[in-house]
Amino acid sequence: MKRCFILLLLVFIIGCSSNSDIVNDESGVVSKLSAPGFEDIEETVVDDLKEFNIIAKQWRFEPDIIEINKGDRIKLNVKSIDVTHGFVISQFNVNEILIPGETTVVEFIADKNGEYTFFCSVQCGDGHSNMNGKLIVN
């Protein structure tokens, strides 16, 4: 009878301690989910390839407005027809030097909405600082 009581007591203690572990685990998960800066991971659906030919020349890009949709796979064929220019879209990690007469291929996935400025990064003359364009991701 005494042995049975000890066994029951033991089961009770083990039961209680394992229960409290579960409570701790749950509260840990909850605090992770509600931690500052926690964001849902947004899935980007990748659509078809969209290809654009862009000419760079003193001191503009043609076209200078490119409108695409979020999720598009983008291929830009960028060519300078006069002097060396640069082609930068910082938010998509694009940073290229354009050698006159050569086509530079830039590829990325437009995985975020917004309006982004692309610009020349090579001092190419008087109008260099105005040599930019806009990438619009809807």
Tell me which residues touch Cu ion (CB under 5 A): 120, 122, 124, 128, 131
Cβ 98 to Cu ion shortest distance, Å: 9
Q: Which of 92/118 has CB closer to Cu ion?
A: 118
Q: Which of 15/63 has CB closer to Cu ion?
A: 63
How far CA 22 is from CA of 28, 45, 89, in Å, comes to 10, 37, 49
Q: Which of 114/127 has CB closer to Cu ion?
A: 127
Cβ 66 to Cu ion shortest distance, Å: 18
Tokens 């290229």 found at: 96
Q: CA–CA separation, 35 vs 78, rounded Å?
A: 43
Nearest to 86 by CA among 133, 136, 50: 133
